[in-house]
Structure 1
């Protein structure tokens, strides 16, 4: 006679397995949403333990009004706009000095201005020749920023979004890869960064996006590639563009989070690599995003595909650019441990024919505290440039 005890229509073993599954779902929900297990259980139970529905319900309930107060204040007095001076330190400065980064409400309303041209009254002909040479060299460089902006953290979110805009003013990147956007955050950016075209990985929940500088980058087409088994609403966003006569495939993603999602994360990484390999030979391919990767996982999927490089490694594995998620230096997240990880990565594949570019420079950004006492995100952003490569 069996000793298995029945509970309703389920055995004790089945109930135990169900409890473990639901506990795991709660943990994943809490990690993605930044909430606690009680909130997770409530939303999951209300949505029949469907992760996607539960997350969408949570975001709709909590995120829509993040910027409402600020928008109302701006509507009251448009004439009283005041711009503070943006931090003018050298973008390539990697001294690590922590200082407050000015991000006043009106720092970044106007992002339409192009870089100013310089002139000199001393030896005009020589100066003009040097200026043209430098200008041509700089114009041929592609610059971009990749950043997980942590839109799920609503604490000081409006101030942190203004901080992001200030960095866009400072660096004027041609392309911006963003992860963990929410609808209200991207609507805020669209009001201010009007010199950019926005390509979005979704329009609800939380998602990725690519910003393209209209005067420099032309969008040909875009697509969203789904991850079939994701439990965290993740996908791969791809934009085909042209820049300075070159064809580019731009990709961004936020791979599955949490240590226990390693298998799913590696599935997603394989798909990313496959898409990079499938791109036409005359196109340069850039993937930039929050991969949540551990080095061992890259090894397990067989390493980087032929012709694909990790830009940080390609540029000499500079220590000051290693850790993009660093709880030792970044205090946005209150955690009882120190974790230093290279979650945010850039993968690059050069075109095999036609004009070619190569990684030139890389630096972390967002390492200055804002006036609100927090950083722009719990991740550092990556600023990178590519230059024409003659060979």
Structure 2
């Protein structure tokens, strides 16, 4: 049986940059010096995060009694202070040049999120389409991106071209396709994430959950790609029910955390009705923002010709992709916009980035005051 896998990340500001945590639970001596192996592990972790060297790592760790979180935080605090005093625009070590001016602990006033099935299974014009997807992510400076139908090739390309995003995917290279969550570094900070497999799925589907925060606003981002086609409607309903239970569990455990659930749900409205509709408190962002007809259909063969149905006389239009939100108490996010994403053709091939439109929502973020 496949087990739920969970990766925990330190709550420190800096350690959110990398999705690992060095074990700090070993008993330490009175002089705060851990065992040799643990010292080496912390030195290596410091070097990895700060992009410096072992000598500096050892010095900073010794000054902070071998506390890795404090050592890394002190390094970046000192680096930022010396940078401001000498050369305000000199690159900071370990921080991508294109986002140096965005490094801050202050929460942004707006938060943008996109969910998108990027159709990695379609090999036609795959690299050009993937390049267009990356350009769209960068152009809009998206804060959170939930992707479905990612394949190993596109995952590697995303990681190579988007170094200023922390890319989460709990799948190995043998998987045919899977989901991923992208968090913009130094804006959205990861606390932990896990993947819950749907054990009865015939298509290897699962639910991915990432707990994170922006300033004082705590979030749980969930993305999934539910079972496809009418034939597997009951399994899809079961999977959606599990997603709703996970949303409720998060809210019961921590009412101060906002939950956003989104993805390619392959959902038909009668299937949602069969579940009794949305659980109390969970809202459909398309409906919440006015149910605009222009962004109703996310899989629309009347506008998107990437997929050609052989012998098909009709061109279906479906609202397969959806975004739901369960507000925190008190409310931290207020939706101000909902619309389609990726609706322009890729230059040079006259196809769209995917056969699905992405769905984008922009939120106003309430500060701690």
TM-score normalized by the length of structure 2: 0.68
Change (3 A) 1:182 1:112: farther
Q: Match for residue 206 of structure 2?
A: 235
Matched, 1:212 2:176: no
**Kept in 1: contact 2:332–2:366 (CA 8 A):** yes
**Kept in 1: contact 2:109–2:366 (CA 8 A):** no
Q: Match for residue 315 of structure 2?
A: 338
Change (3 A) 1:238 1:347: same
Change (3 A) 1:338 1:115: farther
**Kept in 2: contact 1:112–1:195 (CA 8 A):** no
**Kept in 2: contact 1:288–1:345 (CA 8 A):** yes
Q: Which runs of 4+ in 1 moved over 4 A?
A: none
**Kept in 1: contact 2:282–2:325 (CA 8 A):** yes
DSSP 3-state at the match of 1:236: strand
Q: Residues 55-94 of structure 1 correspond to what in structure 2 (within 5 A)?
A: none
DSSP 3-state at the match of 1:153: coil
DSSP 3-state at the match of 1:145: strand
Cα shift at 1:266: 0.4
1:190 aligned to which of 135, 138, 159: 159
DSSP 3-state at the match of 1:323: coil
Q: Match for residue 363 of structure 1?
A: 339
Superposed CA offset, 1:353-379 (max 9, x none): 4x5212111111111111211100000
CA distance in 1, matches of 2:148, 2:263: 7
DSSP 3-state at the match of 2:328: coil
2:294 aligned to which of 320, 340, 363: 320
Gaps of 5+ in 1: 1-110, 118-135
Matched, 1:298 2:272: yes
Coordinate RMSD, CA, aligned? 2.1
DSSP 3-state at the match of 2:338: strand
Gaps of 5+ in 2: 1-95
1:379 aligned to which of 333, 343, 356: 356
Q: Match for residue 251 of structure 1?
A: 222
CA distance in 2, matches of 1:276, 1:326: 29
TM-score normalized by the length of structure 1: 0.64
Number of aligned positions between the proteins:
262
